[in-house]
Amino acid sequence: MATNFTKELIVKPGKKVKLRKFNPDETLGWEKSDNVETDLEKSLDRLDALQYLLYAEGKRALLLVFQGLDAAGKDGTIRRVMSRVNPQGCRVASFKQPSAEEAKHDFLWRVHRAVPPFGDIGIFNRSHYEDVLIARVHNLVPKHVWQRRYKLINQFEAGLHENNVTILKFFLHISKDEQKKRFMERIDDPKKCWKLSDSDFAERTFWDDYTVAYEEALTRCTTDEAPWFVIPANKKWFRNLAISHIIVETLEKMKLKFPEPTVNVKKLKWQ
């Protein structure tokens, strides 16, 4: 089934985002089947090959930003979609409460330090957007402070783009009912219950506030240089399929090439 996931799921600049208009159960006509798993495996194989090219070329980097409410599937997406790539050329950074050192700098300081070097794929599990999400919802800073951050974020990402860092930002969109279902499943699963905390359930009371905060971040910070994608994430299989395709489509557009050898390989052959 031919689907341009990039075109279908991108948030276009200038479009005001209302998340109620995005169906978290959307699958763009795909149905769960063995064919889906086969397509995903092919996509992951292609991602593996393209990562090798990116690493070999060593002139550009790819930054993947994952955002979503609790239980949206950030960890699961990273684990599945990036399962084939070489860890040597891939690094993951998580952004939780700032450390004492980080708190003494501007809010982007710790983020810039985690940007991947040329040749690598960098993954942000949560990101600098927490500073216009949780900081806004819980009034951690005054309104005039977080309001200025949208512009600073856009400038930061534009600067990365100008310096050969391609940015893809994924908002994993789940429903409130799906979040509750996943929380309940975690309670009964000894392999997952350790992930639960009182704050997970407390944060559900701020669902509407987070929705408004995400809508503004998606609206104001999707650009041609660093686009946002709203990924329907109620169905994990579709979430993984869509994100893998978008990453592959982006890497293919980069027209990556192997570098020329630095030695005379013909001469070496006969030694």
The pLDDT of residue 207 is 97
Where residue 271 falls among pLDDT bands split at 50, 70, 90?
low
Whether 269 is in a domain gets the answer no
Whether 133 is in a domain gets the answer yes
Provide the domain count of the chain. Answer: 1
Whether 81 is in a domain gets the answer yes
Here the CATH number for the domain that contains residue 122 is: 3.40.50.300
pLDDT tens sequence across 42-91: 999 999 999 999 999 999 999 999 999 999 999 999 999 999 999 999 99
The pLDDT of residue 80 is 97
pLDDT tens sequence across 2-16: 799 999 999 999 999
Whether 42 is in a domain gets the answer yes
Whether 265 is in a domain gets the answer no
Is pTM beyond 0.75? Reply is yes
Q: Determine contact, residues 64/121, Cβ cutoff 8 Å.
A: yes
Could you give the CA distance from residue 101 to residue 235 in angstroms, rounded to a whole number? Answer: 39
Whether 160 is in a domain gets the answer yes
Whether 91 is in a domain gets the answer yes
pLDDT tens sequence across 196-223: 777 778 899 999 999 999 999 999 999 9
What domain range is 32 assigned to?
5-256
DSSP category for residue 259: P
3-state helix, strand, coil in the chain (%, to 5): 50, 15, 35
CB atoms within 10 A of CB 116: 22
